[in-house]
Amino acid sequence: MQTLGEFIVKKEHDFPHATGELTALLSAIKLGAKIINRDINKAGLLNILGANGVTNPQGEAQTKLDEFANGALKAALEARTEVAGIASEEEEDVVIFKGEKAKNAKYVVLMDPLDGSSNIDVNVSVGTIFSIYRRTTAIGLPITETDFLQRGRAQIAAGYIVYGSSTMLVYTTGCGVHAFTYDPSLGEFCLSHEAVRYPTQGHIYSINEGNYIKFPLGIKEYIKYCQQEDEATGRPYSSRYIGSLVADFHRNLLKGGIYMYPETASYPQGKLRLLYECNPMAFLAEQAGGKATDGTRLILDIDPTELHQRSPLFIGSQSMVEKVEQLIAESSKNTF
């Protein structure tokens, strides 16, 4: 049985910027994930359920576990000499770590500490999403917000932890996608899925159909397409929506499918955050043979302009994403 640490050491040639640094970075994330996993598993016994009375920078109610997960990961990353600072969905501004070691650190980390946290009170799977970039400011100087406003293509590693029936850590360094299942008896993440690829044909679509009336025409057309019977393409497809990006993405990655969060009347720019959610998941999707777009552009090619920038997201099996892109383009032409 190969542990995460052993696997990373074995694959360090896949991480061209550093020797040993990826091991330290992922070890910090792994430690934070263990702490979060421990308390999630005891959530009903501890006073960590429900809202904490605070809203995050997006104006959404912050849960006690959001705050806890953010603190756990931030502390684990700050303890490492490789990280100059972080940006988090739960923080208004970037967090620049103090001290000389931070000024000389090469990397910045962006994260959604607890994706799907509104589900935690009802014991539904949630997750952590992370993204690692090489800093753009000169070594020896304090980092700035510009270090975090990089295209998704610049990511050197990204991944997520899903806290479900088992806890799994899934990551990529641009050389395939690998998944590790947490063994609590060992206290280690052990390799369970190497070189994960999307199935050639997916049969699941994931979208909150309760917002159907607010969807653009192209999305409505795609939903109708998914529901039509056609033996050649295996339709109708199954509708599966958990409401936690990590959990929906993870299922579709293993079984084949598409996750969609389009713009709506309520969220004309989309709801998901480009830097904390869309970019890392898009990196993983492409590395697994899938595709991720905002409906017209590849997610990884979008130039971010704001720390908490939102974006529509269509991500999953390549053929399914391309079909929804086709219908979006056709509906756009028909409106003129």
Residue where one domain finishes, among candidates 193, 228, 261: 193
Give the number of domains in the chain.
2
Is residue 50 located within the same domain as residue 186?
A: yes
- Here the CATH number for the domain that contains residue 8 is 3.30.540.10
Is residue 222 located within the same domain as residue 169?
A: no
Is residue 250 located within the same domain as residue 275?
A: yes
Would residue 198 count as lying in a domain? no
The C-alpha atoms of residue 69 and residue 189 are separated, in whole angstroms, by: 19
- Here the CATH number for the domain that contains residue 243 is 3.40.190.80
89 is in an annotated binding site: yes
Cis bond before residue 280 (omega within 30° of 0): no
117 is in an annotated binding site: yes
Residue found by looking up tokens 């990353």 in the block:
77
Give residue-wise pLDDT tens across range 278-312: 999 999 999 999 999 999 999 999 999 999 999 99
Residue found by looking up tokens 């263990």 in the block:
34
Q: Are residues 257 and 250 in contact, defined by beta-carbon separation less than 8 angstroms?
A: no
> Residue-wise pLDDT tens for the chain (336 aa)?
899 988 888 877 666 555 578 888 989 999 999 999 988 887 665 555 555 556 666 666 567 888 989 999 999 999 999 999 999 999 999 999 998 889 999 999 999 999 987 777 777 899 999 999 999 999 999 999 999 999 999 999 999 999 988 999 999 999 999 999 999 999 999 999 999 999 988 999 999 999 999 999 999 999 999 999 999 889 999 999 999 999 999 999 999 999 999 999 889 999 999 999 999 999 999 999 999 999 999 999 999 999 999 999 999 999 999 999 999 999 988 754
Is residue 242 located within the same domain as residue 157?
A: no
241 is in an annotated binding site: yes
Is residue 144 located within the same domain as residue 17?
A: yes
Cis bond before residue 184 (omega within 30° of 0): no
Is residue 216 located within the same domain as residue 170?
A: no
Domain housing 23: 4-193
Is residue 92 located within the same domain as residue 185?
A: yes
The C-alpha atoms of residue 139 and residue 207 are separated, in whole angstroms, by: 43
Is 33 in a helix, a strand, or coil?
helix
Residue where one domain finishes, among candidates 193, 221, 249: 193
116 is in an annotated binding site: yes
Is residue 70 located within the same domain as residue 158?
A: yes
Would residue 199 count as lying in a domain? no
The C-alpha atoms of residue 218 and residue 208 are separated, in whole angstroms, by: 15
Instruction: Give the DSSP letter string of 130-182.
Output: EEEEE--SPTTS---GGGT---GGG-SEEEEEEESSSEEEEEESSS-EEEEEE
Is residue 174 located within the same domain as residue 224?
A: no
277 is in an annotated binding site: yes
Is residue 24 located within the same domain as residue 75?
A: yes
At 245, which amino acid appears? L
